Amino acid sequence: MIFITGATGMVGSHLLVRLSNQNRSIRALKRPTSDLQFVKRVFAIYAQKPDEQFASIEWVDGDLMDIFALEDFLIGVDEVYHCAAIVSFNAVDKKQLFAVNINGTANIVNASLTAGIEKFCHVSSIAALGSTEHPNLIDEQTLWKSSKRNSVYGISKYGAEREVWRGIAEGLNATIVNPSVILGPGDWKTGSSELFTLVWKGLKFYTLGTKGFVDVRDVAKAMILLMDGNHFGERFVVSAETLSFKQLFGYIARYLHKKAPSIEAKPWIGAIAWRVMAVKGLLTGTKPAITRETVRSANNLSAYSSAKLILTTGFEFIPIEESIRDIGEIFLKDHTKDISNLT
């Protein structure tokens, strides 16, 4: 039996489908208020027998803060995939980020140790490797450095990783994956999927930064390969390619049949924007769409290496242009439906 946290998110739902396609027995954690429509949609896209496979999932209601419930959920479980996390680059969410990402990870690690779990996979992030001030190639050997450039999200994921390393020291067979920016179909309102909506609506600006990108299907594939191959006590960067945001937006525009952003947004423009958004947020009580951390990230020059994963498993990544083409097709289908419903 496999237990998955964060099963309703992008990574978790794609992992569910991939494991289900392999006829694995799965128990998945969700909050009582979770909407399963997104998961069903992912199954409809990728599952061999969508309805039958979705019905085979054993869903349990709970959260990472209840360690006693977690211990009950792990009865009869052999493997744990820990995908649950809060993603936010807004400093006001620091308390929630630390509670869920660090304390929640500590709880599932402790519950797994108590239950004698045989295999454990933790979804970390390239953010847990820190934010360098120059474009050196970043890999698993990159050491965390305390810096004002580190986002609160990155700090929380670094803290979460430390809990997994503690678990490893205490005898847990665990592997850690550090994905770069994950691309995949979503709600088109949050995360990387929102980039497609921005281009669809006529985004005109691009920033000067570079980032690593990876298809969500590759993240799920890598996790299963590492677990099945018993690659424990290690971490692996999972990043297909390093692209500039101009290149990324160009690909998205191509497959959405839109004009690509053509105006370079200088860093000073972003500096003004996040300050204006911060004031607006204070006045309206809403979270700003642009923060100091997102502006900094959008202008960073970062490059990542997945050489270790490739050498260890022979991994072959989906080219990012192909990923964007596939996601673009799903986006267009969704928005064609929306337009049809209005006519």
Q: What is the DSSP string of 43-92?
A: HHHH-SSHHHHHHT-EEEE--TT-HHHHHHHTTT--EEEE--------GG
Helices 245-256, 320-342: axis angle to 10 degrees equals 50
Per the CB < 8 A criterion, the answer to whether 303 and 180 are in contact is no
Per-domain residue ranges for the chain? 2-185+212-242+303-319
State pLDDT tens for residues 192-241: 898 899 899 998 887 787 889 999 999 999 999 999 999 999 999 999 99
Handedness of CA 4, 10, 16, 22 (dihedral sign): negative
| Tens-level pLDDT at each residue, the chain (343 residues) | 999 999 999 999 999 999 999 999 999 999 999 999 999 999 999 999 999 999 999 999 999 999 999 999 999 999 999 999 988 877 778 899 999 999 999 999 999 999 999 999 999 999 898 765 545 688 998 888 887 778 888 899 999 999 999 999 999 999 999 999 999 998 888 888 988 998 999 988 877 878 899 999 999 999 999 999 999 999 999 999 999 888 998 999 999 999 988 877 655 344 444 344 444 444 445 555 555 555 555 557 788 999 999 999 999 999 999 999 999 999 999 888 654 443 3
215 token code pair: 């298809």
CA distance 186 to 168: 33
State pLDDT tens for residues 37-57: 999 999 999 999 999 999 999
What is the pTM assigned to this prediction?
0.90
Look up the CATH number of domain 2-185+212-242+303-319.
3.40.50.720
